[in-house]
Chain A
Amino acid sequence: AQTVTQSQPEMSVQEAETVTLSCTYDTSESDYYLFWYKQPPSRQMILVIRQEAYKQQNATENRFSVNFQKAAKSFSLKISDSQLGDAAMYFCAYRSGGFQKLVFGTGTRLLVSP
């Protein structure tokens, strides 16, 4: 079974600085998708960024980018120019190419200070 590991329960960053959240996963499949979701205090799950495993190019969405290392099974999220509104839980998630369910990690709480 696929597993997703987020080894950082909590991270802190100051406004305008850059922070990287780590995620590793375990799979024997070659076709899959990876996601980062943000969960603010309202507890809604908001998609931040997605990556297809067959694409070598790292995904970017404005201030958010990923470092996808397929051989190492690593999928880290970099947040540049951090803002107070970035404070939230961040979940890494895996989806097999053949199945629909998302497998989530345990989450990293990001604190942003002025």
Chain B
Amino acid sequence: EPEVTQTPSHQVTQMGQEVILRCVPISNHLYFYWYRQILGQKVEFLVSFYNNEISEKSEIFDDQFSVERPDGSNFTLKIRSTKLEDSAMYFCASSAPRGGAGTDTQYFGPGTRLTVL
């Protein structure tokens, strides 16, 4: 069964450094998302991406964040200058299979644990 994959599983970085989190969505999906979960808290929406542009973003997704689909398979989240409070689990998700039903269901990857020191 197709699944969303994310790399790395754990990233440790120094405050102020740039990080890129990578995701490979399910191949025939059209919508891509990033969410984050600070330890012990609920999952929060960051951004959705469709047709090579951002379709929706939250107030968390400020100028420090950017997303990109550099090729036909990868979807990346870049944090330009990491802060201590960016430490969290970052989940990628995808939905809406091309030409198929079930556009509403988002399938999540296993997450990348980001630790900012």
Contacts and interface: CB of A to CB of B under 8 A. Distances in A.
A101 B104 CA distance: 10
Interface in B69-117: 89, 91, 93, 95, 104-111, 113
A37 B95 CA distance: 15
Contacts, number: 58
Contacts of A107: 42
A106 interface: yes
A65 B30 CA distance: 29
Interface residues of A, number: 23
Contact of B110 (A33, A44, A52): A44
Contact of B45 (A44, A47, A50, A103): A103
A95 to B, nearest CB: 6
B56 interface: yes
Contacts of A103: 45
A46 B105 CA distance: 11
Given A50-B105, A101-B48, A101-B58, A106 B111 contact: no
Contacts of B111: 43-45
A106 B90 CA distance: 17
A104 B35 CA distance: 11
Given A44-B110, A106-B41, 14 more contacts: A43-B37, A43-B89, A44-B109, A45-B111, A47-B108, A50-B105, A52-B104, A95-B104, A100-B48, A100-B50, A100-B55, A100-B95, A101-B33, A104-B43
